[in-house]
Amino acid sequence: MTPKENLLRVLRFDHPEYVPTGIPAYCLSYVGAGHEGLDGSGGDGSPAGSRWRDIWGVGWHKELPDVMGMPEVCPLADLRRVDTYPYPDPLDPRICGRIHADPMEFDREQLFLGGAHRDTLFEQAYMLVGMENLMVAFYDQPVAVKALLHRIIDFHLGLARQYVAKGVEWAFVGDDLGHQSGLLFCRAILEEFFVPEYRRLFSFYKEHGVRLSFHSCGRVQEILDLFIDLGIDVLNPVQATANDLPLVRARTLGKMTLQGAIPSHVVQEGPVERIRAEVREKIALLGRDGGYLCAPDQGLPFPAEHLEAFSQAVQEFGRYPLSLEP
């Protein structure tokens, strides 16, 4: 069974051979997906101390090596400019040229073709407006906020059309909607402002047979039904320290695949025995019937010994039929 075939069985909760650690995909991307500028400069890989503007005009500062920078200049803090702001054009060759120049040299029998969407909606909005400004604007400038969110999804729809033309099978989308103990805003805000715009993008992909992987850090267990209704196929990273995992599994069983759930601090700190125990426990809890991709809940520069222990544990405990107790 190829990795693609196994993953499809995982999604269907249909007797896969093994628990994967991720979606086997070759991913197309655009200039800006790594927070670069229009000329390709700057971005997440910049050296510490760098400052730059990304394709949206957001100003960034990277203070530390090995981690992404932080936005420090929010160019649309005044939402009265929402209709005249110079938004990036997804058809600008400086942005989309990378998609069309990609040689796509990969084994299609083994890997899916994916397309990346960075900061799909909420995160792009707060980077443009500023977090506090946006939170207040939900209440005192709702029309302007909705106009901004519509323009952001217009950009991503422009990318999506190009991805679909290239034959993508997976779209990688996401916004961090939660913090350690709850949502960043109430469900009513999410349903009024964000769900309609997410639906525009996600429905387009679903109409073209493209599967969706959605990333959201934090506690999101209160909105699992929204993810399912929006057609999300895989939800990551399902942070164990923020979510009630038995509840999350019960609400998504047979409906949505989960990815992650291994606390990154466990893989970072070890020891090996603890990593193995964590993998065994999470596979038993979340992967008994398929529907689970076992992975750390954050991508960090983990010690090589700990990564090897993690991989070996998934291979050992993740063969179906499972013979584990949660």
Q: Is the per-residue pLDDT at 324 higher than 80?
A: no
Nearest to 155 by CA among 271, 277, 43, 57: 57
Pair 119, 44: CB distance under 8 Å = no
Q: Is the per-residue pLDDT at 17 higher than 90?
A: yes
Query: Cα–Cα distances in Å, from 260 out to 4, 252, 321?
Result: 19, 14, 20
SS3 170: strand
pLDDT score, position 325: 58
Specify if 306 maps to a domain. no
pLDDT score, position 323: 79
Average pLDDT of span 221-230 = 98
- The C-alpha angle 176, 207, 202, rounded to 5 degrees, equals 10
Structural domain containing residue 83: 3-33+64-236
Q: Distance (Å, rounded) from C-alpha 186 to C-alpha 237?
A: 21
pLDDT in tens, 103-116: 999 999 999 999 99
Query: Cα–Cα distances in Å, from 297 out to 3, 122, 181, 239?
Result: 21, 20, 16, 6
pLDDT score, position 129: 99
Q: Is the per-residue pLDDT at 72 higher than 70?
A: yes
Specify if 303 maps to a domain. no
- Per DSSP bridges, beta strands 112-116 and 170-174 are parallel
pLDDT in tens, 159-185: 999 999 999 999 999 999 999 999 999
- The first and second tokens of residue 201, run together, are 């993008």
pLDDT in tens, 270-294: 999 999 999 999 999 999 989 999 9
Number of domains forming the structure of the chain: 1
The CATH number of whichever domain residue 195 belongs to comes to 3.20.20.210
Q: Per mean pLDDT, which range of 62-66, 118-122, 287-291 is the poorest?
A: 62-66
CA dihedral sign of residues 213, 216, 219, 222: negative
Specify if 315 maps to a domain. no
Of the pLDDT bands very low, low, confident and very high (cuts 50, 70, 90), residue 228 is very high
pLDDT score, position 301: 84
Specify if 299 maps to a domain. no
Average pLDDT of span 93-112 = 98
Specify if 12 maps to a domain. yes
- The first and second tokens of residue 200, run together, are 């525009």
Quote the percentage of the chain above a pLDDT of 70: 99
Q: Distance (Å, rounded) from C-alpha 31 to C-alpha 119?
A: 13
Specify if 286 maps to a domain. no
Specify if 317 maps to a domain. no
pLDDT score, position 247: 98
Which runs of consecutive H residues, i.e. helices, occur in the chain?
3-12, 93-101, 122-129, 131-140, 142-166, 187-189, 195-207, 224-229, 245-252, 264-269, 272-286, 304-317
Specify if 277 maps to a domain. no
Of the pLDDT bands very low, low, confident and very high (cuts 50, 70, 90), residue 227 is very high
Average pLDDT, the chain: 97
Q: Distance (Å, rounded) from C-alpha 7 to C-alpha 25?
A: 11
pLDDT score, position 66: 81
Of the pLDDT bands very low, low, confident and very high (cuts 50, 70, 90), residue 300 is confident
Average pLDDT of span 282-309 = 94
pLDDT score, position 109: 96
pLDDT score, position 53: 98
